[in-house]
Structure 1
Amino acid sequence: MNDKRLDSLKVAEASEAYGTPLRISRIKLVNYKFFYGEFELLVDGENLLVYGENGSGKSSIYKALELLTREKIENLAEDSRNIFNETGEIEIEFGFTNGTEFTITEDTEELPDYVDFLKGLSVFRPMLDYKKLLKVHYSEKPGNKEINLYGMFRQLLKDYPIDNETVLSDIKDLNKYFDELKKVVDGQLLANVNHLMHSYFDNDIRIDSFDYKVIIDDETGGAEPVINMIIDFKENQIKNYHSFLNEARLSALAVSIYFASIKRLIGGLEQESIKLLVLDDLLISLDMSNRLKLLNILKEEFTDFQIFFFTHDKELFELYKNKMDWKKFELYLDDSEDIHKPILKSGKSEIERAKEYFAKKDYDCCALLLRKGFEKILKSYLTPREQLDKNCNDLDLASLVGRTITKSSGENKSILGKLNSDRKHILNPLSHNDNRPVYSEELKQAMTDLAKLKKLLK
């Protein structure tokens, strides 16, 4: 153990402060996977939304967070060292809002006791990507009529506590294992999955039951445990659901199963644990309507979790960034030199950027960004259909304002009226070639009103 790790032991007593929600405050990567040299991401205990173009390091940050969910950290150097740095030390450093610092190096084998608040992560495993979702509806064996979910449940619930000394994966007798698994799956977990499906995604779909059995594998001749899921669709039982439901519904079903499992597992922990939820390119097969429904799940079902959301979909990033409170970053690839590096851009809102230009007395740019931000806020409030005229053409800003005013009342309506006046007399003229005088106080008030409207309409 090097000196840096010894220093971090001095703040061990801070890990006992469970009175306030514990969060990650920063992540520092040194010579780890994509990142050559040092790279630091300041999270400040907030939720994190990251857009990253392909090859910009997004997946490396996801993998670094995944290290916290392992019971043992082994062979870090084998596939983790940046290819351009053959000798430099690999470090993954985490800072937490309770003051604790934890550094993973090539010598680290397991989580030390002073970060015991991380140990629950290996039980409820909060890492989820589209590959895991596929396990719910994709069969690796061609020609299979039914999906075998045994492997998924075996891995997902392997550390579910049966008693003080036993977890599910400790049970070696298959009959006894199935008996215990049924108690976990067929009770509250099944009810929670159906709750998520009905409350957020689709009232027509319900998991009716799970069928547990052992069959003889035709290729090996050995016994194969099988768990099949039986779906109820509009009061009709469907066994081959993966060939009947469309991809969006299958993804919604998979999301509901994993989210319900995470909530079930964390509810069984005996000690306090940091609550993380790390999602990577989760919504590839979900349409826009279901993407917004998933956002509602995050806001309503995971309010006490720190959420890390990674995506390579710029449209999704733009959709999500103003609909939830989180730090926003964009990652781009700088391949101008032999050693590729990331370009980290803070995902500031138009209002935040407008304030910067206002401070520089660049009022034209300030007004242009406020006008753009005003339009974006209105579009986030109106449905896609409400943003179109009777001929299905996009509404201009004036028409968007009018339609939003029609839907609004009280303070919302009052602020919209003021901003509509600002649009005509300040924002529009400053966004075009216009020589009328600039009234900085009115521009400043427009920024205040727009920030207030954003909160009210959210």
Structure 2
Amino acid sequence: MRIKTLKIKNFKGFANEIEIDLKGKNLVIYGENGSGKTSLVEALKLLFDSASSEIELEKYKNVFTKQPMEISIKRTNGEAISLKTKSKKEKRNGEEKEIGLTNPDGYGDGERIFLEALSRSTSILSYRQLMKIYDLSTPEDFYELFIRNIMAYYLIPPRREKTLIEEFQELEKLKKEHPRSKKRIREKEEFIKGEINKIFAEIKETWNQYTQTLTGDNIKIECSLEELGKLNFSVKWNGKDVSDILSYLNEGRLNAISLGLFLAYYKRFNDSPYKMLLLDDVVIGLDMNLRIPLLDILQKDFEEEYQIIITTFDENWFNLMKQYLNSNKWEFMKVFVKRTDNNNRPFIVGSEHQDYLRKAKEYLNNGDVPAAALYTRLEFERIVLKYAEKRRLKIGFRRKVQKIPINEIWEAVKADLPKAKTIRKRVDTYKSILLNPAVHYDPRPKYRQEVSYAIDVVEKLKEKITRELNSS
């Protein structure tokens, strides 16, 4: 079961209501810094966590409205879940204040099971968190991120009745209530260290595989825990020991090591029936040529089993992902900010899905036939160019060097699709719309109908090309 839609209102920067249509697919979100893309994944995580504990909502409020916060999802089975909240009065700084909280008791059994499963198995991984590896001695370092956050809900074998975070909580309680029980404290610490080292031992092979894929280098890493609060790294680069990883490994390689560990852990130990990956701008430290290997890892090991959400402020990377990822499994959207003085709010946040055929249909329904024709042609261009490049047609590589007319690209694609005789013929029938960069408006009454037929042709061509690429 996956999430089909997400609705947010009065959450952080979202004073207005915004609806994200995931269609049960994976999602890539592009937006400039400050446009709210990170807030979208934070809203999801808050909803997941709200079934397990009371969470104060003050920091999530929209400062420009006093209306209650709204977060809701619809699942692919048609069922909807909305954030449950409550309030209570507390004295703070000598004043009585009404505090907004999430309300775990407000959910039904089925809702709670779904949300708790996602809460335990989902972390937001951001570039800012990944780069904490630069400082391995502060309280909020690499250890804090992975041991007490991502690995927190690791179920300890063989009984799998208790999680790692519960063991930490018992240790802290033991130290507080029985500080003189040195032996019991030491035994508990040794037990926790042993379990953590078992985790690192089990994911070492996959972690190294992912790291080497993401860096393109012969890097081998081992990690162990000799005392709680500090991780010990052993790194070999091209067979040589690297004693000071911060001196020898650049930002991109450190980013890859962190990202590789995150993915390796979730690949090996996430037993939840509902699985999501929330990757917030995690590729900033990776060179562009090392970003494609990340997509290969996601497609091979996570695309089917997990629902993935990736955010980015890099439009070139966003456009590359649109070309590279299978549109039957991925949705693409942009978030943006509009300035406004309505309701005394300085801005509203909007979203736009990058589905040219959807736009074409909307424009056609609204009577804007030239715009419908334009977006139909844009989608036609996008899918034939993607096919040419994926199939390594010569025209695809020439396209990167110089501007090749779309009709020439189509001829090359057509020759590579010998069994699609009917579709090829129908594309040629509407070539005035699909192969004409100007898309001149034709005043004839039947022009609207021709655009409608052209949209249908492009949809069928898209289905055919997707099948061909998936089978190759």
User: Shorter-normalised TM-score: what interval?
Assistant: 0.7 to 0.9
Asked if the contact 1:149–1:228 (Cα under 8 Å) also holds between the matched residues in 2, the reply is no
Deviation at 1:339, TM superposition (A): 0.3
Gap regions ≥5 residues in structure 1: 1-20, 143-147, 215-223
Gap regions ≥5 residues in structure 2: 86-99, 172-187
Question: Which residue in the other structure is 2:28 paired with?
Answer: 49
Question: Which residue in the other structure is 2:278 paired with?
Answer: 278
Deviation per residue, 1:164-205 (Å, 9 max, x gap): 443223154333222111111112x2223234345x535633
Cα separation, 1, equivalents of 2:82 and 2:314: 32
**Matched-pair identity in %:** 28
- Output aligned runs, 1:2-41, within 5 Å: 21=1, 23-36=2-15, 38-41=17-20
Question: Which residue in the other structure is 1:124 paired with?
Answer: 121
Q: Sort the Cα spacing of 1:244 and 1:429 in 2 relative to 1 into closer, same or farther, 3 A.
A: closer
- Output aligned runs, 1:32-431, within 5 Å: 32-36=11-15, 38-70=17-49, 71-76=52-57, 78-86=58-66, 88-98=67-77, 99-105=79-85, 106-110=100-104, 112=107, 114=109, 115-135=112-132, 137-139=133-135, 149-155=142-148, 156-162=150-156, 163-169=159-165, 170-171=167-168, 172=171, 173-187=188-202, 189-197=203-211, 200-202=213-215, 204-214=217-227, 225-267=229-271, 269=272, 273-302=273-302, 303-321=304-322, 323=325, 324=327, 325-337=329-341, 338-358=344-364, 363-381=369-387, 382=389, 387=396, 389=398, 392-401=401-410, 404=413, 408-411=416-419, 419=427, 422-423=430-431, 427-428=435-436, 431=439
Deviation per residue, 1:319-363 (Å, 9 max, x gap): 334633344433221222140343424314223333444556755
Cα separation, 1, equivalents of 2:398 and 2:160: 63
Cα separation, 2, equivalents of 1:184 and 1:91: 38
Deviation at 1:307, TM superposition (A): 2.3
TM norm structure 2: 0.73
One-letter code of the match for 1:186?
A: A
One-letter code of the match for 2:383?
A: I
Structural RMSD (CA) = 3.8
Cα separation, 1, equivalents of 2:223 and 2:20: 43
One-letter code of the match for 2:143?
A: Y
Asked if the contact 2:73–2:82 (Cα under 8 Å) also holds between the matched residues in 1, the reply is yes
One-letter code of the match for 1:210?
A: C
Q: Sort the Cα spacing of 1:102 and 1:444 in 2 relative to 1 into closer, same or farther, 3 A.
A: closer
Cα separation, 2, equivalents of 1:93 and 1:102: 4
TM norm structure 1: 0.75
Cα separation, 2, equivalents of 1:417 and 1:92: 48
One-letter code of the match for 1:229?
A: F
Give the aligned length.
Answer: 414
Cα separation, 2, equivalents of 1:45 and 1:288: 28
Task: Specify the SS of the correspondent of 2:7.
Answer: strand
Q: Sort the Cα spacing of 1:280 and 1:401 in 2 relative to 1 into closer, same or farther, 3 A.
A: same
Q: Sort the Cα spacing of 1:64 and 1:203 in 2 relative to 1 into closer, same or farther, 3 A.
A: same
Deviation at 1:260, TM superposition (A): 1.8
Asked if the contact 1:211–1:227 (Cα under 8 Å) also holds between the matched residues in 2, the reply is yes
- For structure 1, which segment, 96-105 or 377-386, has the greater mean C-alpha deviation from structure 2 after superposition? 377-386
